[in-house]
Chain A
Amino acid sequence: MNTAAAVLIAIVALASRAGAQGSGKGFLFHKPVGSFALRGGYAVANASSDVFSDATTQLTLNKGDFSGFNWGGDISYSTGDRWDLLFDGEVAYSKKDSEFRKFIDNDNQPIEQTTKFTRVPLTIGLKYYLTSRGRSVSQFAYIPSKFAPYVSVGGGAMYYFFQQKGDFVDFQTLDVFNTTLESTGWAPMGRGAAGVEYSLGPWLALTGEGRYVWAKAKLDPSAFEGYDKIDLDGFTGTVGIRVRF
């Protein structure tokens, strides 16, 4: 969190320095070429595939435990008055300790494990502003709009990491054993998003965005044998800072 705060401070400082040379009171000396943004929020995992169902059935987990905080950012380049080409990446991460719902060990202690679920979508997309995002009143004066709602779509690949580590029950022998089960990989993905930007100044804007991602990936059969593809879908809500350049 401290790192994130430092990054945010650095961005604001960078924007302030840039603004000192490249902007006036509420306007820019040129139309922005593009922007970059840092966002933070919460990613709700759909978690509807059978691997999640089994986990929530056997362990003290529920579907919400696969959701977690999300950090991300993007770099966009203006391709038109209302269009941006967008390169976007983010990380959604969850970690939850659990125990078997129905089993304890021979010392009456819970049989504990930790489940980690990480999704990293990397996409390229197009962003369309529903209203004008700014006005050029001259070659050296560009006034960003106060509000700029937008929608965007994109496609790319999602990296995922699903891990369960700790003590488990061998349902064949009821032995308790310690192991790490994990599966990682890449999967094609798509996403759609809608959001709004609120200008805090000529260089800075506050962003709020909701997005949904679609992706399904194969599980490593050596760890998760016989399961369907893992459901990587989910909704993400974020707020962040956008810096125009």
Chain B
Amino acid sequence: MRLDIDRKSNGTSAVLAAVLLIGSALAAGAQDTQLASNDARWGPWIGCWQSSSRDAVSMELAPNKAAPVICFMPATGNGRVDFVTIDEGTAGAPEHVDANGTRRAVDRQGCTGWEIADFSADAKRIYLHSEHQCTGNRTRTSTGIMSMTPEGEWLDVQGVKVDEHTGVRVAHYGRVPIPPALSADLRAEIEAVKLATNTAVIAASDSVRIADVIEASKKVDPLVLQTWLTERGQGFNLDAKRLTQLADAKVPSNVIDVMVALTYPQTFAVNLAQADGQVVQAAGAPQVAMDEGMHVGPAIFMNWDPFYSNGYSYGYGYRYGTYGFGNGNPYGGTWYSGYPIVLVKPAQLNVPQETNGRMVRGRGYTRGGSGGGSGSVSPSGRTSGGSSSSGGSSSSGSTGRTAKPRP
């Protein structure tokens, strides 16, 4: 059981990997039958994906250049899936990723540490966690959630924390047809499970339950969980009992706030931007700027993420750019720096505006203002001339209706 992304660079390593897997399976015996079969938990991800249009604005692609496509194929092994990337019409070599809940040691770019990926209990989410000690005696931790949205998108939320600085990145990927560049055998692997994949997507797109939030709160940073909930935009059937359940489970209060806000959109609005309202894009220069602002150097993301791996240790990442070095990020996504801010909508947005009308002796009813220069209708229905007046002010709202004398 380990998190691993390897490149099947040649047949020997593939055979070796297979032998090791078989050996592991034999050692584990019948207790872990998943080792000897495809892991259905990856089912929703089987197929080909590309950055969704909403993230396209953050890409820095050359004109007429399409975003890369990644295709997942079923793989044998617990938590394992194979994938191939297709960039500019060229398919790369098959690789695989493991999300089996085991720590994997990492040593790269001046940072050492570990990373881990694991499925949720209901297999609808993948939780990610890494911790690195970097030069300058800085500790860098990162957590994330991969999941399917109700719309069938692959939603990827990652947060990184260095010292007291925190940021989160959101990326959406949409399912795309299998590119022609993918080999026939790999295409066949995907198409062979197409119906199962569709079924898995539907199952994984199910609404988030209270128990899911509680589970996720144990796995990821509150900022990541807040952002993930906000991106999904789903309300909850919250009542005092469920709120107590959340609090007793030590779900962070700011996460509960987001749940409340999503449940009562008529009262609350959630702003994922920074405190000053600025949204920091993930792509290229803004990312560098953010990193400089954090004084932590370039961003390094967990290796499990095939789109965002820097590739120095895993051999494939170079095709995706060295994220955070200012070379541009062709895979989109949006960076949010700081914690989501839950805003209370002003009450007047929800309540019909009342006019500051008055009843004036000798003049009848009038609308707002102090005297005003326009005429008004007397109680008898006659219109009197306006009189000049200065000073004072009164706002009033209009119903859009008009009145006329009775015939």
Chain A residues near B (Cβ < 8 Å) = 21-22, 24-27, 29, 135-141, 143, 202
Contact = CB atoms under 8 A, between A and B. Distances in A.
Given A24-B263, A29-B264, A138-B260, A143 B253 contact: no
A29 B243 CA distance: 12
B256 interface: yes
B256 A138 contact: yes
Contacts of B168: none
Contacts of B243: 27, 137-138, 141, 143
A24 B244 contact: no
Contact of B260 (A26, A29, A202): A29
B101 to A, nearest CB: 30
A137 to B, nearest CB: 4
A27 B350 contact: no
A180 B137 CA distance: 92
A140 B244 contact: no
Contacts, number: 63
Interface in B103-150: none
Binding site secondary structure of chain A:
mixed
Interface string B243-278: 110110000011111001101100110000000000
Contacts of A138: 243, 247, 253-257, 260
Binding site secondary structure of chain B:
helix
A21 B256 CA distance: 18
Contacts of A202: 240
5 contacts: A21-B347, A22-B267, A137-B243, A138-B260, A141-B257
Contacts of A136: 253
Contacts of A135: 244, 247
B254 A139 contact: yes
A140 B257 CA distance: 5
Interface of B: 237-241, 243-244, 246-247, 253-257, 260-261, 263-264, 267-268, 342, 344, 347, 350-351
A141 B263 CA distance: 12
B342 A139 contact: yes
A27 B256 contact: no
Nearest to B261: A140
A116 B342 CA distance: 58
A24 to B, nearest CB: 6
A139 B264 contact: no
Nearest to B247: A137
Which of A27, A29, A136, A141 has the most C-beta atoms of chain B within 10 angstroms of its own C-beta?
Answer: A141
Contacts of B237: 25
Contact of A140 (B239, B241, B268, B351): B268
Contacts of B255: 138
Contact of B253 (A21, A27, A29, A139): A139
Contacts of B268: 29, 140
Nearest to A25: B239
Given A137-B244, A141-B260, A27 B239 contact: yes
Contacts of B351: 21
Contacts of A21: 267, 347, 350-351
A21 B351 CA distance: 9
Contacts of B260: 24, 29, 138, 140-141
Given A138-B254, A139-B253, A202-B240, 13 more contacts: A27-B238, A29-B267, A29-B344, A135-B244, A137-B246, A137-B256, A138-B257, A139-B342, A140-B261, A141-B238, A141-B243, A141-B256, A141-B257
A141 B253 CA distance: 9
Contacts of B253: 136-139
A139 B239 CA distance: 15
Contacts of B246: 137
Nearest to B264: A24
Contact of B240 (A27, A139, A140): A27
- Which 6 pairs, one residue from A and one from B, show the smallest C-beta to C-beta distance? A26-B240, A138-B256, A25-B239, A138-B253, A137-B247, A143-B240
A141 B255 CA distance: 11
A5 B147 CA distance: 55
A25 B260 CA distance: 11
B241 A139 contact: no
Nearest to B263: A24
Contact of A26 (B239, B264, B342): B239
A202 B350 CA distance: 20
A10 B399 CA distance: 26
A81 to B, nearest CB: 16
B239 A24 contact: yes
A14 to B, nearest CB: 13
Given A21-B347, A25-B238, A25-B239, A143 B244 contact: yes
A25 B347 CA distance: 19
Which of A21, A24, A26 has the most C-beta atoms of chain B within 10 angstroms of its own C-beta?
Answer: A24
A143 B261 CA distance: 16
A29 B259 CA distance: 12
Contacts of A140: 256-257, 260-261, 268, 342, 344
